[in-house]
Structure 1
């Protein structure tokens, strides 16, 4: 271990030296089709072949620009300006003369040529004008791209094959809500990692996108208001984003509220024991909840130094109530009432600093402190005389610290970093049982990307150590070595193939490590497991991509394989008359499958999208042998006539399995119509999602089924209004390379109202 640490520490110093080259520049003048000078054009320079951003400038009032470069090296220069098509030029030092930029109207969809750009473990994605027009913000635009899809409620995105995405904006860890507060036209490019690079391999995410924004100058004020509110039910997500930016400072204020007031919920449950069964038929139900986020940030960029700070407050109260008729073996007409109330509040402080030595080398550090308080109250009353109460009260604190060093070595990109996380949870269960859980994670990582001709690669290595104290005062230490590799071959501008392989890990949440018991039925309980350990797994993937000239046709078939030596999964146990669900360690799990993704745009104003994913899972629990075949299919249509955006998306039912527990997700679809005029957008959406999920299991001497019917979502109609106002122009601050957050409140999926 000490030798490996010395290698990581000494390596940059040994190979970070560089030769001195003659310095030169790339100059030119940005003009429109009539030869008029264009001021304020974003001129961004990238290295080749890895397309890493080197420097940038903006054209002056005469349209002139100048970028310092090294003589004899080829670069990619991208010019962009709102209302004009972007221009890409491969060039060396010298004068480019007049660079003509062509104007496009937002009332017409102009498709710019789209080339497939892949390097190592990432894809460089550019938004087409049709993607920019699709919706009201950056989240809508990215969700319309063939690599991604939006959720049924349009609040988040995932990869088309259902991988959870970690969102970065200019290298800073953000959320889907932050994308929804951005304008799509502000996006310069998107770096897409279909498999997490070494830096993020210790987190439970499936993919990473890093959204890079355009560089602007001078001073700007912006206001962005985005509202989505239900007509047929109490339902809405609303946000207000204010920002001020100048050449040195950036200040933002953000407020977000998501609320639900649903009154047509029904819960149908059945629990079959050896000698009798409880069948609950839903008669009425409701859910009321809000999710509030308040956030302020300040950033200062001066010379080679960048400082950033963020204060954030989150609150998430929720209450669900269900009335049921209980039909017990040999009885009829008993009434049953279920209540689940939960709430959490969090306060976080985020500090970031970076120093840029030169265009290739930088050092960054990030520290985040988060405090949580949360509670859950669960109650069931039956007219048969049976009742129970569960009360869990949590207090938690976490500290996250990360440092990252980046450099250019042998004309390739080198990253070296260290990550540390401390988390403590103190829980009081039913006012009597105390649990204190502390977890620590240290993670040292490095990766390197380079290429030769059409071939490029990324190799990474992570050293992870987890150690924590459980609620039973046991101390657990867990070490894993996690290498990764991505081999990429770009045959031409339209076709590429990538082979990826990695070792990933997953750590249990602090809420799973307590001794608390959640009562579901009179003899069915969900119990924590203080003995849970982290686990690791192997993953390999082979993906082919094709994008026709102009981006009219995109298709991507892939095959993949997972192997888990051990994995934490929910398992059912029978103890006398009682049944317990507890997360346990299951061995020797194999998963294999494939996917196919298709996007076709026969006309500039019409796009068809379709995807299919298959996954076969095989393992053995203490109760049964599991062999599950997952089929996931969805499709969508999009029309873009002039100022209108008309969309239709549908997802067919899907069956998943986790341990002994099966989940069936029902059919859902949505249709939306949006009208855009200057700074405002008006629209309406229809959502059909009446059977979001059914959870069930069947083992010897016990089976259960839990189904929630959301009557309000059977025919939900919402209206959308957005307003985006800006004054002046702004300069985007230097990209931040680090950011972290903690969203583990101590509540689990079972004791949180939803």
Structure 2
């Protein structure tokens, strides 16, 4: 009898459940950028009852722009799609017994870049937006960097730091990959600082931060990828712009662009020239110690460097739409520049047998040229399946001549002079071949697979002439070096992503085979007699991404990737650079790559005027490459070595807040803990091993960007940043801070605008480090001149004017701003 009751109750329960689900349905659709026609990821989609206007539930779009909300009861609702930087869109739909599964199809979102004509209040495009695998920063509205360089622009992007030598780090880690337009484009760790200093900021459209890339992307760089996207707008018709600017140090810049697009052809041309002048100072105080750690002597130095140089940067692109499904494009950019640097160093010392004072004057002239050419072909099998084939070629050439003149005073008024000239000819070129296939089986599932081959070649011969004076200088056989570095990488990848209700999954695997060969030839050595160092290895890089959408616009993401950081070319070159006789540096051809396991947990919540992103991350790294220093007599030597393991954990908080109708803030806080294990390393020519104790510390950085839109077409911007104390190999770096300001005024229906900016207005950005090792303690500091004012005037032409209907609509939407004043 009990079993009969249980069976009846079970049947009644199933009938009740079925009747409940029979009264519910679902709504789905796809979010698309109205301008680019590309799907938008991570768009917030919510529904509310049309009668009560009460919010009910929501979700976010996936990597293909698709969204789906299940278990919606019968009734009529309003669906709302919102995304930072875009105008919100609403649609009405009804769930009924005859229409349980509603497809609203494509929802087009337009960028929220308003032009106010009547009241002269100008809106700015949102500077930051979140996508499922990256953060995107639109930099066209970055006022404080108008007239600057790409390197200076990166300094104002959250999570990125740039030191005084141009080295870039992401979340406190300098092992980061820099791309231009989604590929290496010839940039390497050896040349990127010089190139980024000469690319005009006006040529950049946006910057993407990919902190934990999936298996689809290159695993190079343990901290992630910084992707610089150059301008190549493709609106119908023609339009363009022209800019001129100057700064108080004597630098100036000019640039122009023009775009033309029709049904069959899309094209763009950008060209810019930038002349730059800058100054910097540095000092270093070194105390030499005996075996018991007691001071025995000192060597202090103070330096001043003045730099100037100019660079021409140009980009051009053509896209041909051959058919509805076949597209071919060719694009490229070129760079032509020169740079002169004058450096004066004054020494004081009481080292026995050494000079008591000395002055070293160096002058260097460098010219550089290079660029990238890219050819790609896209075939669309269907709306959900396509293949893209790409081939690109990069060439970078840097020629330089440096002279060094030193005059030293010894005891008993003994004087010694020396003169050196060093000539270098650095050349690097690479080829990339890539094919990517995408097949979206359904709105929830997608397969991506592809191949990428990279062939890189570098040569950097150096010749030196030495003597007491310029007239007596002769060829120096000991300072001759002919270095070559070849690296080939073959990679295959596959990723699969799917979504079931609110749960998303992406699995990926990438395999890379790398072969490298380095040669360092001294004087009278030939290719036949040289013994190259070769290193061939195969590596697998898995990735896993999980996401879950919660009600009320909450999203949680968890991901894991394996990363690699290969040694840089200069780190492998064993040639001893003795141009500074007291500071000798050389590379290590036996370096191995670093490998990292990276984990992230991300949470994002969006309100109408606020967005909050919280990311926690953990990364452990083996074979950490660090620069080490050790003393031999009066000489300080430095090289690179795989010395230890490291781990870091942190939390990054990014908030976008619109506090008033005319004021918004983008705030980034990054808290992280670093740990370096202890090490003991014996260089080949050292008498005693270089040791380091285990070291750890807690560091944090903060950056805030404030934008204000005022009446009379005026906008203001302030960017402040702070870096706390951080550990480095054999020591630490002290805290520093910086403040940049900018203002912009539009004239004549937004066709002309004037920007005024000042960088590092407090002149507070310096890099102060304290290090110690076997037989020494050293305190060093360097800083560039701050308080640099810039002025930039821009003129826009072509079909840029908004329609009267749009002007009227946006004017009505901004009337409330006037009331604030």
TM range (shorter): 0.7 to 0.9
Give the TM-score normalised by structure 2. 0.68
Of 414, 421, 425, 2:458 maps to: 425
Residue aligning to 1:399: 431
Aligned with 1:199: secondary structure?
A: coil
1:317 matched to 2:338? The reply is yes
CA change 1:478–1:314 in 2 (3 A) is same
Aligned with 2:460: secondary structure?
A: strand
Report the CA distance between 1:533 and its aligned residue. Answer: 2.6
1:440 matched to 2:488? The reply is yes
Report the CA distance between 1:357 and its aligned residue. Answer: 1.0
Q: Could you list the per-position Cα deviations for residues 148-196 of structure 1 after superposition, in whole angstroms to 9, with x for gaps in the alignment?
A: 789899x999978889686676x78899969844779xxxxx9975421
Distance 1:368 1:390 in 2: 33
CA change 1:396–1:584 in 2 (3 A) is same
Aligned with 1:488: secondary structure?
A: strand
Residue aligning to 2:5: none
Residue aligning to 2:360: 336
- Pair member with larger Rg: 2
Residue aligning to 1:412: 445
Q: Could you list the per-position Cα deviations for residues 649-673 of structure 1 after superposition, in whole angstroms to 9, with x for gaps in the alignment?
A: 2112444444346444632111111
Residue aligning to 1:651: 721
Q: Could you list the per-position Cα deviations for residues 675-721 of structure 1 after superposition, in whole angstroms to 9, with x for gaps in the alignment?
A: 1231221121122245432355211212444433333x2x2111122
1:719 matched to 2:791? The reply is yes
Aligned with 1:511: secondary structure?
A: helix
Q: Could you list the per-position Cα deviations for residues 206-263 of structure 1 after superposition, in whole angstroms to 9, with x for gaps in the alignment?
A: 246798999977x522212244421x2123454322222211112322223333223x
Aligned length: 650
Q: How does 1:296-695 map to 2 (within 5 A)?
A: 296-303=316-323, 304-329=325-350, 334-384=358-408, 385=416, 387=418, 389-410=421-442, 411-430=444-463, 432-471=480-519, 472-519=531-578, 521-548=580-607, 550-551=608-609, 553-575=610-632, 578-618=635-675, 619-622=677-680, 623-625=691-693, 626-642=695-711, 643-660=713-730, 662-664=732-734, 666-677=736-747, 678-688=750-760, 689-695=763-769
Q: Does the 8 A contact of 2:297 with 2:349 survive in 1?
A: yes
Report the CA distance between 1:440 and its aligned residue. Answer: 0.8
CA change 1:698–1:419 in 2 (3 A) is same
Distance 1:617 1:261 in 2: 36
Q: Does the 8 A contact of 1:396 with 1:425 survive in 2?
A: yes
Distance 2:285 2:460 in 1: 31
Aligned with 2:535: secondary structure?
A: strand
Q: Does the 8 A contact of 2:144 with 2:718 survive in 1?
A: no
Report the CA distance between 1:390 and its aligned residue. Answer: 4.4
Distance 2:730 2:405 in 1: 28
Residue aligning to 2:313: 293
Residue aligning to 2:73: none
Q: Does the 8 A contact of 1:85 with 1:104 survive in 2?
A: no
Distance 1:495 1:196 in 2: 22
Distance 1:127 1:392 in 2: 38
CA change 1:272–1:562 in 2 (3 A) is same
Any unmatched runs of 5+ in structure 1? 1-25, 27-39, 55-75, 185-189, 730-754
Q: Does the 8 A contact of 1:463 with 1:479 survive in 2?
A: yes
Aligned with 1:697: secondary structure?
A: strand
Residue aligning to 1:258: 274
Residue aligning to 2:783: 709
Q: Does the 8 A contact of 2:143 with 2:743 survive in 1?
A: no
Aligned with 2:710: secondary structure?
A: coil
Aligned with 1:512: secondary structure?
A: helix
Distance 1:391 1:99 in 2: 56
Any unmatched runs of 5+ in structure 2? 1-28, 42-59, 67-78, 94-101, 188-195, 290-295, 409-415, 465-479, 520-530, 681-690, 802-821
Aligned with 1:355: secondary structure?
A: strand
Distance 2:209 2:739 in 1: 27
CA change 1:570–1:143 in 2 (3 A) is closer
Distance 2:338 2:225 in 1: 30
Distance 2:395 2:734 in 1: 35
Report the CA distance between 1:381 and its aligned residue. Answer: 2.9
Aligned with 2:758: secondary structure?
A: strand
Report the CA distance between 1:574 and its aligned residue. Answer: 4.1
Distance 1:510 1:349 in 2: 23
Residue aligning to 1:22: none
Of 211, 221, 239, 2:238 maps to: 221
Of 280, 288, 292, 2:301 maps to: 280
Residue aligning to 2:24: none
Aligned with 2:570: secondary structure?
A: helix
Residue aligning to 2:774: 700
Between the two structures, name the one with larger relative contact order (CA 8 Å, sep ≥ 6). 1
Q: Does the 8 A contact of 1:85 with 1:112 survive in 2?
A: no
Task: Please provide the CA RMSD for this pair.
Answer: 4.6
Q: Does the 8 A contact of 2:313 with 2:336 survive in 1?
A: yes
Aligned with 1:307: secondary structure?
A: strand
CA change 1:315–1:221 in 2 (3 A) is same
